Amino acid sequence: MRAEQLGKMKILGAALWVVLLTMQTHYFYSIGVAPFPIIAALISGVAILFHALVDLRATRSQLISARWYILFWLLIFAIGIFDALVVTRAKYLLIPRILAFPLFLVVGLHMCLMYINDKKNLVSAMRLAIIIHLAFFWAQVLFYYAGLGFLDYMEPLTGETQRAFGGSYFVLGVPLIRATGLFNEPGTFTNFVFVLFLLYKNLEKADGTIGPLDVWVILSMLMSFSVFGLIFTALYLVFYVFQLSPKRALLLVMLSAPIVVGIYHIYLEPRFFSGVVSTDSGFGFRAEALSVYGQAAMKSISMVLFGVGIFTDASAFLDSELVWNDLGFLFYFVLCSGVAGLLAFVVVTIASRGREISAFHVLMIFAIFLSKISISHFLLWLCLASLLHASSNKHKMLLRSEA
């Protein structure tokens, strides 16, 4: 019984660790930092140190499986330092990001160790972390429509109100809530939770079947009434349609159609097509961003090759107030690390995975490139650690060679 209870405590602890790592929108302006991910990263450092003290040789051998992840981290760090010294000449440096960058490495290494030593509990912890996020999300929805008011999880802690309302959207005459869960806005909720969900599916080595958790995640994407949520839902459903028999694919489309029609009339049509709600659709913002980047790129080939730097405030350097990661991570990554960074990712991914890249790996990469996750988000580095660590078979071969 004690062993069983200890296992449950490990799962709960690891799940809370994952939740803390994703809470980067809980920014405390009084101290100028989002403390929860930092606390989780420090826990990772202590865990690695403890593991090494218990068995240094085993820890060193196990970390060999993360060699491609370490190499990619070093390459991105080197490109960032080069940019800071050569491209931007140390202007507009983001000192907190420089200080936090080693923590990204630590968090990824910690997950690799957990995957090797206790994969089952790690997968269970990821699943529980997703359930926790969904529970906070649906609590907001149920409390609001039950007439109990809006549950704001951020305002009591940070003073910042969650952006769950906006625009004239109604459901049966009741103002629409766009729930945010533990995040500052619906779009951020969908980006973090969907990417975390795909990370879980990769660690679980899912076989492509749709389970209850899949259904709840997709329903949450839709109920967020976020454009990103709709995009991720469409992406996931298309991914599954190609794996289903024609009859099941048709059934899935028929079940999804009423939901899509409802969301169109409640949210998409008034926001983007009717002119009733005065809201920027984002197209103008993206066109402006591409124009600013294009003009700067024409003046500096080094910026195209190496980016403006992950340690540089891109908005200040380009004299623009645009939020660059809102254009999607692919564009943001090229902006920060240039063609060199993108090439490093492709080469290291192919070298680490070879022919072992699964359909869920491809889906996760595609979703990350579409998302507005930043290079300074710990969740990104968890995904990279999952993607770039050596397979279990390769790791066993390495251990035998070490013996």
How many Cα atoms sit within 13 Å of 41 on the Cβ side? Answer: 25
Most confident of 87-101, 111-125, 173-187, 248-262: 111-125
For the CA atoms of the chain, what is the radius of gyration?
A: 22
**Residue 1: is its pLDDT beyond 60?**
no
Tokens encoding 239 = 């991914």
pLDDT tens per residue across span 190-242: 999 999 999 999 888 766 677 899 889 998 998 888 888 888 988 888 787 66
pLDDT tens per residue across span 270-281: 555 554 444 445
- In sign, the C-alpha dihedral spanning 239, 240, 246, 249 is negative
What pLDDT is attached to residue 395?
Answer: 47
> Quick one: what percent of the chain has pLDDT higher than 90?
33
In angstroms, the CA 295 to CA 303 distance is 11
Mean pLDDT of the region 350-354: 83
What pLDDT is attached to residue 398?
Answer: 44
**Residue 70: is its pLDDT beyond 90?**
yes
What pLDDT is attached to residue 352?
Answer: 87
**Residue 377: is its pLDDT beyond 80?**
yes
Mean pLDDT of the region 312-322: 78
In angstroms, the CA 327 to CA 176 distance is 26
**Strand locations in 16-92 (E):** none
**Residue 326: is its pLDDT beyond 50?**
yes
What pLDDT is attached to residue 192?
Answer: 96
Q: Whose CA is closest to 381, among 102, 64, 61?
A: 102
Count of CB atoms within 10 A of residue 79's CB? Answer: 23
Higher pLDDT, 239 or 188: 188
- Residue 152 near residue 90, CB atoms below 8 Å: no
Mean pLDDT of the region 233-255: 70
What pLDDT is attached to residue 158?
Answer: 87
pLDDT tens per residue across span 156-187: 888 888 887 755 556 556 677 888 999 999 98
pLDDT tens per residue across span 16-54: 999 999 998 888 888 888 899 999 999 999 999 998 998
- Residue 387 near residue 364, CB atoms below 8 Å: yes
Q: How confident is the model at residue 122 (pLDDT cuts 50, 70, 90)?
A: very high
In the beta sheet, which residues pair with residue 171? 174
What secondary structure letter does DSSP report for 175? E
Q: How confident is the model at residue 342 (pLDDT cuts 50, 70, 90)?
A: very high
Most confident of 202-206, 281-285, 302-306, 346-350: 346-350
Mean pLDDT of the region 144-158: 88
Mean pLDDT of the chain: 82
**Residue 394: is its pLDDT beyond 70?**
no
3 state DSSP class of 311: coil
**Residue 283: is its pLDDT beyond 60?**
no
The alpha helices in 164-210, defined as continuous H runs, are: 186-204
In angstroms, the CA 234 to CA 400 distance is 44
Mean pLDDT of the region 349-377: 86
Tokens encoding 179 = 């729930």
Higher pLDDT, 280 or 317: 317
Higher pLDDT, 143 or 267: 143
